[in-house]
Structure 1
Amino acid sequence: MLIFKPFKGIHMKDTSLSNFPMYSPDKYTEEQIKAKLRNKNPSYIDIIKPTFFKGESPLENRFKKVRKRYEEYINENLLESDPSSIYIYEQTKRNGLTFRGVIGLVDVENFKNNDIKVSERANEQKQEIFSKFLDLTYLQTNPVILSYNSNSKLEVMIDLEIKSKPLINIEDELGITHKLWNVENRLKIAQFKETIENLPSLYLIDGCYRMAGAIAHSDKIKAKNKSKDLLFDNNHYIMSLIVSSQSIKISEYNYLIKSLNGLTKKDFFDKLETHFTINRKGNNPYYPSHKHHISMYYNGEFYGLYIKHEFRNIPEGLGCMDNYLFRKFIVESIFNIQTLKQEKELITYLQGSGDIKGIMDLKAAVDNREYAVGFGFYPANFQDLQTVSDLGKKIPFKSAYIEPNLLLGLLMFDMK
């Protein structure tokens, strides 16, 4: 059974400090990170500053310094803790696109018991590092994202809460607005808890390695404290944002291939024709308008690659993912790439936009002679992720870019 509960969220005391939280460091250039580190104002990056000095000391020592810096922020009255609450989160982009959901704690056992379906494989290196981070800092600063098929009762409850003044209302460096409401009324919490715990199914759509790292941390704590009552031990819960499938956006990743590995154009196209019908588009930029249609840009021209019907949807679940079929019929069949390590040496992944802009970005990269050929995809949808998850399978690497993209440090969970 799903377990969802409130927690005492930690956040900046001055809730107007828009520069306190930040996106994941990999979203910034090296210069942008250096500029943030030079900033003397209170900020989340100041708390995790020791993690950026890789040559200074072992990772464990740097994580201990993060915990120490966090406690200094608490003692300096820069951060505050709420009463036990659940939270409503809303993000609005400049184009008006809005995402919203409910933040609370989910028991790690719900992931281990498959009460929450996981469609992605965790990056083992990131998982191990994050587990060590939790072991030494006891801080969760970015919720994993869980999604469900739209539930009218839960949507109405959220609608009612966001009519009040938000606890936090900031605009970030990208012009995106983030609002946070805390719900501490016991009756309301009980209503949210009951509704969420009775959802037919939940799916992890972002934060796979953090989920796996939190489970590993929990297992270590359990091994050390076998007789302890786990119900009141925060180390066994994961901060989670629960959003409707109607309140997420799934965009594609497009792929750039560095070389044809010695194949001539004729050899390459002959091999493609085994599994694809090829439609020459010439100079007209082509964005695939359907699943099983792939855009290809090669030697200054666009082509439509249409996966032949006899090869679609096989095997069940994975066969609905164009990225899987691309790997099977191009990456493996034509280039003989069998491992993810080999794939990363051949392919660069380019975040798409759900429209022609992503295709033009792909074209520019190939025209700059950085790559031999580019492939653009039609985005997967939530039903695709559900199908793969329900069958107990995992989607291919870099199959979907999912929003909302959350800020680190906007809301934190101290497990101590």
Structure 2
Amino acid sequence: MLSFKPFKGIHIKEEYIEKFPIYTPEKYTEEQIKAKLKDKNPSYIDIIRPTFFKGESPLKNRFKKVRKRFEEYINENLLEHDPASIYIYEQKKRNGEIFKGIIGLVSVEDFKENRVKIPEKTIEQKQKIFTEFLDITYLQTNPVLLTYDSNSKLDVMMELEMKSKPLFHIEDELDISHKIWKVDNRLKLAQFKETIENLPALYLADGHYRMAAAIEHSDKIKEKAKSKDFLFDMNHQVMSLLISSHSLKIYEYNRLIKSLGSLTKDKLFTKLEKYFTINEKGEQPYFPSHKHHISMYFDKKFYGLYIKHEYRGTPDDLGNIDTYLFNKFILGPVFNISDENEEKKLVSYLKGTNDIKGIINMKQVVDNGDYQIAFGFYSIPFSDLKVISDLNLKIPAKSTYIEPELLSGLIMLDMK
């Protein structure tokens, strides 16, 4: 049975909330980061400021300074501590898209025991760094994103809470609206807890390396602990945002390859023709509007690659995932890329848009000369991700980009 708990959330005081949270630093340019660091207002980027000064000290020491800065914010009375609560979250984009969900704690054991199912591989380097961040700062500042099959009872419970005044409401620099409602009534907490814990399963949609780091951090704490009562220890919980699968937006990740190596054009197409039917599309950008259709851009032209029927659906249901088929029938046999280290050197990933815009972006990157060839995908539907997860299989990393994209520092958990 799943575990879902309230927690004593920490957030900046309302008068500073507008400029406090940020998206992951990877989303910003170096100039944007520098501008944010110059801002004198209390902010999450100010708390993690030491992480940006790479030449000054080892990462471990910089993380210690992050913890120290967080405690300074507490001592300066800039942060508020809530009673044990869960939070209703709503994000509204300029195009009218709305995402809503529930923030609470899910047990590390739920991930380890496969009650929270994980469809995608984790990027180990990111996991290693974030584990050290948790080991030293004891801070979770951005929830992992979990999803579940639509549940009408949860929808009604959330809607009722959202009729009241939110704890806070901000619009970020992208004009995206974020609202948070706090739920701390014991009866309501019990109702949410019971409903969520009776869900058949949860699925990890985003935050794979943060989830893996939380597990590793928990294991380290257990090794050190004298007591075996871990029920109320926050180090064994993962701050999570639960959103219905119907509310998720799943985008594709396209692939860019730096070099063909010794491959000639003729050899490239001969190798591809073993597994794919190839249709030349010309100079007009081609978006693959179906599963098992892949867009290839090479030598100023687009091609449609259609995986031959005898290679679909094998083995088991991983063969229904186009990024898996790409790795199996293109990366390996065509480009001789057989392990993750080689893949990191030669392959880059570009977020798609579920339409022709992502293909045009892919074309522009190749035309700029940094890459020789690119492959565009049709996004993976949640139904396929669910099947893979239920079989305890893993699709390749960087197969999906999922919205909503969350802010760091909106609600925080101190595990100390």
Query: TM-score range with shorter-chain normalisation?
Result: over 0.9
Q: Which residue of 2 aligns with 1:281?
A: 281
2:216 & 2:151 partners in 1: Cα distance?
A: 32
* Change in 2 beyond 3 A, CA 1:61/1:366: closer
Q: Which runs of structure 2 are paired with 1:189-228 in the superposition (5 Å)?
A: 189-228=189-228
Q: Which residue of 2 aligns with 1:51?
A: 51
Q: Which residue of 2 aligns with 1:376?
A: 376
Q: Which runs of structure 2 are paired with 1:401-416 in the superposition (5 Å)?
A: 401-416=401-416
Residue 125 of structure 1: CA displacement?
Answer: 2.6
Write out per-residue CA displacement over residues 84-122 of structure 1, whole angstroms, 9 at most, x where no aligned residue: 110001111111111111000111111111111112222
Write out per-residue CA displacement over residues 40-62 of structure 1, whole angstroms, 9 at most, x where no aligned residue: 11000101111111222222222
* Change in 2 beyond 3 A, CA 1:188/1:35: same
Q: Which residue of 1 aligns with 2:229?
A: 229
Q: Aligned residues, how many?
A: 416
Write out per-residue CA displacement over residues 355-408 of structure 1, whole angstroms, 9 at most, x where no aligned residue: 000011111122223222221100001111111111111111211111111000
Which is further off, 106-115 or 130-139? 130-139
Q: Which residue of 2 aligns with 1:360?
A: 360
Conserved 8 A contact 1:15-1:167: no
* Change in 2 beyond 3 A, CA 1:15/1:103: farther
**Aligned-partner SS, 2:231:** helix
Residue 129 of structure 1: CA displacement?
Answer: 2.0
**Aligned-partner residue type, residue 364 of structure 2:** A
Q: Which residue of 2 aligns with 1:146?
A: 146
**Aligned-partner residue type, residue 390 of structure 2:** D
Residue 228 of structure 1: CA displacement?
Answer: 4.7
**Aligned-partner residue type, residue 198 of structure 2:** N
Q: Which residue of 2 aligns with 1:122?
A: 122
Q: Which runs of structure 2 are paired with 1:16-165 in the superposition (5 Å)?
A: 17-165=17-165
Q: Normalising by the residue count of structure 2, what TM-score does the alignment of the two structures yield?
A: 0.97
Counterpart check, 1:338 vs 2:338: yes
* Change in 2 beyond 3 A, CA 1:73/1:154: same
**Aligned-partner SS, 1:252:** strand
**Aligned-partner SS, 1:157:** helix
**Aligned-partner SS, 1:193:** helix
Q: Which residue of 1 aligns with 2:300?
A: 300
Write out per-residue CA displacement over residues 305-330 of structure 1, whole angstroms, 9 at most, x where no aligned residue: 11111111111121111011111111
2:3 & 2:334 partners in 1: Cα distance?
A: 47
Unpaired runs of 5+ residues, structure 1, are: none
Conserved 8 A contact 2:123-2:397: no
RMSD of aligned Cα (Å): 1.3
1:326 & 1:124 partners in 2: Cα distance?
A: 21
Conserved 8 A contact 1:254-1:349: yes
Percent of residue pairs bearing the same amino acid type: 68
Q: Which residue of 1 aligns with 2:397?
A: 397
1:344 & 1:228 partners in 2: Cα distance?
A: 41
Residue 30 of structure 1: CA displacement?
Answer: 1.3
Q: Which residue of 2 aligns with 1:270?
A: 270
Q: Which residue of 2 aligns with 1:13?
A: 13
1:238 & 1:275 partners in 2: Cα distance?
A: 42
1:210 & 1:15 partners in 2: Cα distance?
A: 29
Residue 229 of structure 1: CA displacement?
Answer: 2.5
2:390 & 2:147 partners in 1: Cα distance?
A: 14
**Aligned-partner SS, 2:57:** coil
Conserved 8 A contact 1:87-1:180: yes
1:15 & 1:90 partners in 2: Cα distance?
A: 20
Conserved 8 A contact 1:4-1:106: yes
2:379 & 2:220 partners in 1: Cα distance?
A: 39
Q: Which residue of 2 aligns with 1:178?
A: 178
2:133 & 2:282 partners in 1: Cα distance?
A: 51
Q: Normalising by the residue count of structure 1, what TM-score does the alignment of the two structures yield?
A: 0.97
Write out per-residue CA displacement over residues 147-192 of structure 1, whole angstroms, 9 at most, x where no aligned residue: 1111111111111111111111101111111111100111111110
Q: Which residue of 1 aligns with 2:2?
A: 2
**Aligned-partner residue type, residue 317 of structure 1:** D
Which is further off, 219-228 or 317-326? 219-228
Runs of 4 or more consecutive aligned structure 1 residues displaced over 4 Å after TM superposition:
none
**Aligned-partner SS, 1:334:** coil
1:388 & 1:239 partners in 2: Cα distance?
A: 24
* Change in 2 beyond 3 A, CA 1:97/1:277: same
2:244 & 2:367 partners in 1: Cα distance?
A: 40
Conserved 8 A contact 1:214-1:238: yes
Unpaired runs of 5+ residues, structure 2, are: none
1:123 & 1:306 partners in 2: Cα distance?
A: 29
**Aligned-partner residue type, residue 265 of structure 1:** K
**Aligned-partner residue type, residue 301 of structure 2:** E
Residue 257 of structure 1: CA displacement?
Answer: 1.6
Which is further off, 6-15 or 128-137? 128-137
